[in-house]
Structure 1
């Protein structure tokens, strides 16, 4: 399942990057030479950043407000979410045919484990990983072989060459030590390595070019060092291997490599006298006349990578102006705007079921008034980049803390604890300690069940901590409480976790996203009428990235919560209902072992 989750993450990031690549290609076609060569190269870095970090900040300016990824489709959507009431079940008559037949609706099983993953997805993810390993191993082996050959090269001791190197380093303000190596393993000059870069020259090359031509060549190669191009090339190389199946990504990086050479030419020319621009171009042509294909690996950059782009480079050199390499306000503003649009994710704006932009399937008419009051309502929550499941629990239902019988050992999952107690509903609840592998070890904080303290590692009963609790009257308590305060309030059920999201009808997160990032979530809340809201948000998959604390806070506000708190999320997020897990836990095992739950008893 871990492999499938990683593969889905790759598919999602490659889809985002492909869309951005096509947009960037369109921009470059429209703008052409209206913006400088540095801009044409820098805009490709948006693709690199997007592939590395697909989970960007949310923004109303994001391009992806207009796009929704849902399974295999990319469709235009409105700026709001769709919330659906999928089914209402009368839980007063459990285990009877009458109850099971009150409302019939088709809901797919959401229990997530490796065995239930489609066979084609398991096959594709395995093929993807196999090819990544093959290309990766081949690249590493070739790099090591080439590096071993370079070690046999001779350190250049030509005083004229070394003097030119020092002069060029001084012009570009480069402080790092750069060795010049003469070797027969290459046919054209190149720079190699980014930790300890080396300038590689074919043996006898200084006899083929004159002093001025050699200066141009050294300036160009040192421009790669100055601009950190080798590091970027290594990163794009790794990304190409990961996204080997995507021709759009490969073509984008090919174009990025060509733009990189133009930018290096421009940097070199900015340190050359105007009357020598033509001679710089003639030097490129001279090298082209004796060009031979040479071995290329990541971390190496030749002054001539391929013949096809020479015409474009010569054109740029002929049109070059002294200040054209410097940034101006227009390209800076353009890049900033494009970054804000392309590097941010869509802003989630949940709406109530029944809104004109939502779809509602409401079957209350088939139920009696008594059934309506005691039924559990299930909602599917669909955001721009997350899916979730919500249950509304009537106030007459008893909610208790569920836990492992031996509290010192963490041996049960949410569904196992629920089944042992014959619970109708259960969600994971309190926090726990972990070992270095992320394995659940032991409870953390406070756990109360039926008015008794089952676990407490807080030495002072007056110390306040984040608590989620229920009193003997079924009132939800969230926020900072001490054990003594809980006892005075007649608390019967409690776990340690937080933060509180809604207090007395007011949201606690009014700026930012809550600072916890995007992840799977489990949240509990209570409405003014006493009914309890249970919400889980799936995450870390291509269909659902996860939600921020502010996202879930806003959803509960929309549904009338006056008190609400975050519970343990991430791999622990699990919702159990009527005998099965109805969300998609992202843990490797399918469902994580937990220390405590909130359960609804019959």
Structure 2
């Protein structure tokens, strides 16, 4: 459960960045039809759902897509890696107290376990409340009178709404003026035609998963607002621009004495009346250049926000020469660690396999040597013949039969420089046990 929770947290962090981008983009699209603003929210909700993405040089994501490492609970000196120095510095100062080797449980493990439990409880409570509200509303709607087709009328509701997913029905207040019926019914039918009731339900489920993130609540609210406004514009476009005044009056009359529907995610009525009326009265056929600009913004943001920046990491199997050389040095480092582990007096086990999980270039130093010095972070795992003889020291843990050895100082950092365009290994940056005199 902790792994899932950390993955959700990382997705939520990236999505917060995306949501802020979309909010700014909505300002650029202020004069464009609201269907474009509505469509933008698909980007945010896709980011909230999928833990993976494609890489692109056009990515607008400037923060680390894996802010909280999956193994942070097992790291002696845990750190986050958002890519934002101010944030990383502030948080890592709090997290930087190393766990004593003799300690059996890392405090971070306790915090993550507790936070995971709170997340699950919050998710269950929110979904349970929504389910109960939906069942209560469904029972109440049994007393509604059939009007025609999929339309029903009822005395005890104050606002029109759509209820249901597979076979949605439209419910109208009994006191709805006959002159307002065509506009209101058309509005609700447009929601059904565009599958807005399904989109909102899916968005609510995503919101429930990320309930701890206030930016996701804001995104949900703004998405619903854009949904309603774009639906208003669609009705006006279909019935004619001459109905704007009457349509606005119907929205105003419905807002008086309105009662909310409750917490059902499959029922939604009309809201944000003031801003919707203003949008309806100001709505006019968009100019061609406005539509083109809006489409360009959508495409740019879709590519930029759905993609991740190119990874500087080198994983096992990379084809580049420098990558292979760096990997060779990394494997030599791992072989030395295996030799140390197998000869240790406190352990009796044999390593039968090794694997580099990640070899990532952190940054380049230009002022230490005549040539640049590159620092690379190495992550690896070892496969013992049997985990029974493994005695865990500081920074070591076993998972799925693999031994992870980060050492008391965390993941090893390897230092490289160049000679005649060839990569030269300087050593481990923590100890620089090999070729240390070259520095």
Give the TM-score normalised by structure 1: 0.50
Which is richer in helix? 2
Out of 148, 151, 165, which is 1:180 matched to? Answer: 151
Kindly state the Cα deviation for residue 76 of structure 1 after the two structures are TM-superposed: 4.5
Render the CA deviation track for 1:257-293: whole Å, top value 9, x for unaligned.
1111101101111111222221111111121234233
1:25 equivalent to 2:16? Answer no
The reply on whether 1:125 has 2:110 as its aligned counterpart is no
Give unpaired runs (5+ residues) of structure 2. 69-79, 86-97, 316-321, 360-375, 403-439
Deviation digits for residues 349-371 of structure 1 (CA, Å, limit 9, x no counterpart): 3479xxxxx9xxx9xxxxxxxxx
Which of 225, 229, 232 aligns to 1:262? It is 229
Residue of structure 1 aligned with 2:357, choices 516, 536, 546: 536
Structure 1 SS opposite 2:177? coil
Match of 2:206 among 220, 223, 239: 239
Matches of 1:241 and 1:575, distance apart in 2 = 38
Q: 2:165 aligns with which of 194, 202, 215?
A: 194
Counterpart for residue 83 of structure 1 = none
1:42 aligns with 2:39: yes
> How far is the alpha carbon of 1:536 from its aligned partner?
2.7
CA distance in 2, matches of 1:327, 1:231: 29
2:133 aligned with 1:142: yes
Paired position in structure 2 for 1:590: 399
C-alpha separation between the residues in 1 aligned to 2:139 and 2:62?
50
Asked if 2 retains the 8 angstrom alpha-carbon contact of 1:266 and 1:325, the reply is no
Higher strand share: 1
CA distance in 2, matches of 1:145, 1:127: 27
Counterpart position of 1:385:
none
Question: What is the aligned residue count?
Answer: 339
Q: How far apart are the structure 2 equivalents of 1:292 and 1:142?
A: 15
Note the C-alpha offset of 1:245. 1.4
Quickly say closer, same or farther: Cα 1:244–1:275, change in 2 above 3 A.
Answer: same
Partner residue of 2:409? none
Question: For 1:62, what is the secondary structure of its paired residue?
Answer: coil
Change (3 A) 1:56 1:327: farther
Radius of gyration: which is bigger?
Answer: 1
Q: Higher relative CO (CA 8 A, sep ≥ 6), structure 1 or 2? A: 1
- Give SS of 1:145's match: helix
- The answer to whether the Cα contact below 8 Å between 1:270 and 1:325 also exists between their aligned partners in 2 is no
Secondary structure (helix, strand or coil) at the match of 2:171 reads: strand
What is the alpha-carbon distance in structure 1 between the residues aligned to residue 38 and residue 67 of structure 2?
A: 32
Report deviation, 1:23: 1.6
Q: Counterpart of 2:305? A: 342
Q: Classify 1:390/1:129 alpha carbon distance in 2 versus 1 (closer, same or farther; 3 Å).
A: farther
SS of residue matched to 2:238 = coil
Q: What does 1:17-166 align with in structure 2 at a 5 Å threshold?
A: 17-29=15-27, 31-65=28-62, 67=64, 69-71=66-68, 72-76=80-84, 118-156=109-147, 162=148
* CA deviations over 1:169-221 (Å, ceiling 9, x no partner): xxxxxxxxx5112234421111112210101112x33xx4124x210001111
Contact 2:60 2:304 in 1 (8 A): yes
Change (3 A) 1:135 1:122: same
Give me the whole-angstrom Cα distance separating, in 1, the residues matched to 2:332 and 2:383: 11
After superposition, the Cα gap between the structure-2 partners of 1:579 and 1:294, relative to the gap in structure 1 and judged at 3 Å, is: closer
The alpha-carbon distance between structure 1 residues 423 and 47, as it changes in their structure 2 partners (threshold 3 A), is: same
Is the contact made by 1:267 and 1:325 (CA closer than 8 Å) also made in structure 2?
Answer: no
Q: 1: distance between equivalents of 2:108 and 2:302? A: 36
Q: In 2, Cα distance between the equivalents of 1:7 and 1:390?
A: 35
Contact 1:426 1:576 in 2 (8 A): yes
Alpha carbons of structure 1 residues 351 and 134: separation in structure 2 relative to 1, 3 Å: closer
Q: Which residue of 1 aligns with 2:11?
A: 13
Question: 1:17 deviation in Å?
Answer: 0.8
The 1:116–1:276 alpha-carbon spacing in structure 2 relative to 1, beyond 3 Å, is: closer
2: CA distance between counterparts of 1:390 and 1:344? 34
CA contact (8 A) 1:13 1:54 kept: yes
Q: Distance in 2 between matches of 1:325 and 1:592?
A: 61
Q: What stretches of structure 1 of length at least 5 have no aligned partner? A: 78-106, 157-161, 163-177, 353-357, 363-375, 380-388, 399-414, 428-533, 539-558, 560-572, 594-602
Once the two structures are TM-superposed, the CA of residue 117 in structure 1 deviates from its matched residue by 5.8
**Residue 268 of structure 2 aligns to a residue in which SS?**
strand
In the TM superposition, what are the counterparts of 1:170-319 in structure 2 within 5 Å?
179-202=150-173, 204-205=174-175, 208-211=176-179, 213-302=180-269, 304-305=270-271, 309-319=272-282
Q: CA deviation at 1:590?
A: 3.0
Structure 1 residues 70 and 391: CA distance shift in structure 2, 3 A: farther
Residues 34 and 273 (structure 1 numbering): CA distance in 2 closer, same or farther, change over 3 Å? Answer: closer
Kindly state the Cα deviation for residue 151 of structure 1 after the two structures are TM-superposed. 2.5
**Distance in 2 separating the partners of 1:391 and 1:199:** 68
Distance 1:335 1:188, change over 3 A: same
Distance change (3 Å), C-alpha of 1:236 and 1:326: farther
Alignment partner of 2:353: what SS?
Answer: strand
CA contact (8 A) 2:10 2:65 kept: no
Deviations 1:220-260 (A, max 9, x none): 11111122111111111112211121111111111111111
CA distance in 1, matches of 2:313, 2:329: 16
2: CA distance between counterparts of 1:126 and 1:392?
Answer: 37
Alpha carbons of 1:183 and 1:9: their partners in 2 closer, same or farther (altered >3 Å)? Answer: same
